[in-house]
Amino acid sequence: MYTETPDIIPFPASFKNEMLTPAQLETLKGGTLRLLDEVGVHFPCRRALEIFAEHGACVDPKSQIVRIPPDLVQKAMSTAPRSFLLGGREERLDMLLDGNYCYLTTDGTGVHTVDLETREMRPSRKEDVALMARVSDALPFVGFFWPPVSAQDYGITAPLHQCHAGLTNTLKHVRGGMTVYPQLAPYVVEMATTVVGSAEALRKRSPICANFCTIAPLAHDAHSLDTALVYAEAGIPMSFMAMTTMGSTAPATVLGAMVEGDAEVISAMVLIQLAYPGTPVFHSVYVSMMDPRTGGYIAHAPAPVSMIAVQLAHAWGVPSLGGGSLASDAKDIGWQSGMDAGFGAALISHYGGELCGYLGLVGSSMILYPEQIILEHEACEFAYEILHGFHFDEVDMALDVIAAVGPGSHFLRQRHTRKHIRDHRLSRVFRQQGDDSAWRDPREVALEEFKLISETHHPQPLPKEVLSELDTI
């Protein structure tokens, strides 16, 4: 028996704030253009070097450094679409990245899982990816599925199995394209094509997107470049994600780390647009920092870096993967992770990134506690209700009811109370009482909710012949 996947609930982007002025954004872009033109970026990929050379960039074959003149950058970026579609298995689950809505996603891709039954931490497995895809399918605020953890039980073919687990366990869009050995990339394309039925359909409504991380400072990974070119040829949307760390792999200032990351991302986008103009690309820069006391990693810098990154993406004329994040540096579920989730949920619409949220992981996106996604989804629901606006109806002032009760009495007997007291949504996780009337730990309730969804929600599967073909691939 199968259960229906609920419609996606996106956040409206009408509340977004502008941290930088247009002039300041142009100054940032100017810094990127200068870095690309005068310093260059390392491209350890023969085909990438050939593409740049053919289009007039300055290519040093020995160092593999490419310097890209500003006019070539601007020309290439002009072919990148401002909006495009990320397809679900059903059209009602499609996401249009046009700046009007913010779609939330699961976080990815960690390596540790707290086992649902034993509660012990262990290396993540493909079954974890499949389980999280199925539970995410039931959560309406999760717009698309990014494998939260990796299928480490499949070694170097893990990305293929993560894609397979996503496509076969949710009707929502799947971040199924990751960096793989280039020889494996065509199999990702083949899986996506099998799901939609044809190469033409893949270009119109791809069921997967891809992500490639740059290497700070100012470098790329060879496998990522080769893989990205394979996906781009097929028309699969992709993001390039820079993860600059202030103090170690980037300058110890927000703007320095931001412009360095932007140069990495834009250089890769230019390559893709030169090779396959019009390929859907979205922009992502995450600025973290080095702990000045320990040298450790702090994922969330105490600065409005995400808001600046979203503005910068839009200034380049492409959608953004960024904005309000629910992820936490906390190693466990507790006060810190709750604060990070609540604060991140409240800022989603204010940041205005087309894709954001990142639910389900703690420990700087390394550790999966299954119940965390339920807690964070609840935080998003609260934030949505506040941001969605308030319907003002004069009748709801209930002046006649107040007059009928009068001073010093109560409203328990009123028909109006019986009619409206259940209009207000009460949390399924918080403020729950046990049989002894004592308040229950929300984490305990969230774990129960996760297990209930995992046992009862079974989305409509792909046709048998498609499942068989995916298994073969």
What pLDDT is attached to residue 17?
79
Mean pLDDT to the nearest integer, 33-59 = 98
389: pLDDT strictly greater than 80? no
- % of the chain surpassing 90 pLDDT: 80
For residues 70 and 218, give the distance between their C-alpha atoms in angstroms, rounded to a whole number.
Answer: 17
Question: β-strands 142-145, 58-60: how paired?
Answer: unpaired
Average pLDDT along the chain:
93
For residues 369 and 362, give the distance between their C-alpha atoms in angstroms, rounded to a whole number.
Answer: 8
Per-residue pLDDT tens digits for 74-86: 999 999 999 999 9
Query: Considering only 35-49, 266-280, 411-425, which range has the smallest mean pLDDT?
Result: 411-425
337: pLDDT strictly greater than 70? yes
For residues 376 and 393, give the distance between their C-alpha atoms in angstroms, rounded to a whole number.
Answer: 31
> Whole-structure pTM over 0.75, yes or no?
yes
What pLDDT is attached to residue 386?
83
What pLDDT is attached to residue 433?
66
Per-residue pLDDT tens digits for 392-446: 899 999 999 999 999 999 999 999 999 999 888 778 787 776 666 678 888 999 9
For residues 164 and 174, give the distance between their C-alpha atoms in angstroms, rounded to a whole number.
Answer: 10
Per-residue pLDDT tens digits for 94-109: 999 999 999 999 998 9
What pLDDT is attached to residue 191?
98
Write the CB contacts of 166 (distance below 8 Å, at least 6 apart in sequence). 129, 133, 145, 147, 174, 175, 176, 208
243: pLDDT strictly greater than 70? yes
Q: Which two three-digit tokens encode residue 180?
A: 């793989």
Beta bridge partners of 367: 112, 362
Are 324 and 344 within 8 A, CB to CB? yes
What pLDDT is attached to residue 184?
96
What pLDDT is attached to residue 434?
67
Secondary structure of the chain as H, E, C letters: CCCCCCCCCCEECCCCCCCCCHHHHHHHHHHHHHHHHHHCEECCCHHHHHHHHHCCCEEECCCCEEECCHHHHHHHHCCCCCCEEECCCCHHHCEEECCCEEEEEECCCECEEECCCCCCEEECCHHHHHHHHHHHHCCCCEEEECCCECCHHHHHHHHHHHHHHHHCCCCCEEEEECCCCHHHHHHHHHHHHHHHCCHHHHHHCCCEEEEEECECCCECCHHHHHHHHHHHHHCCCEEEEEEEEECCCECCCHHHHHHHHHHHHHHHHHHHHHHCCCCCEEEEEEEEEECCCCCCEECCCCCCHHHHHHHHHHHCCCCEEEEEECCCCCCCCCHHHHHHHHHHHHHHHHHCCCEEEEECEECCCCEECCCHHHHHHHHHHHHHHHHCCCCCCHHHHCHHHHHHHCCCCCCCCCHHHHHHHHHCCCCCCCCCECCCCCECCHHHHHHHHHHHHHHHCCCCCCCHHHHHHHHHC
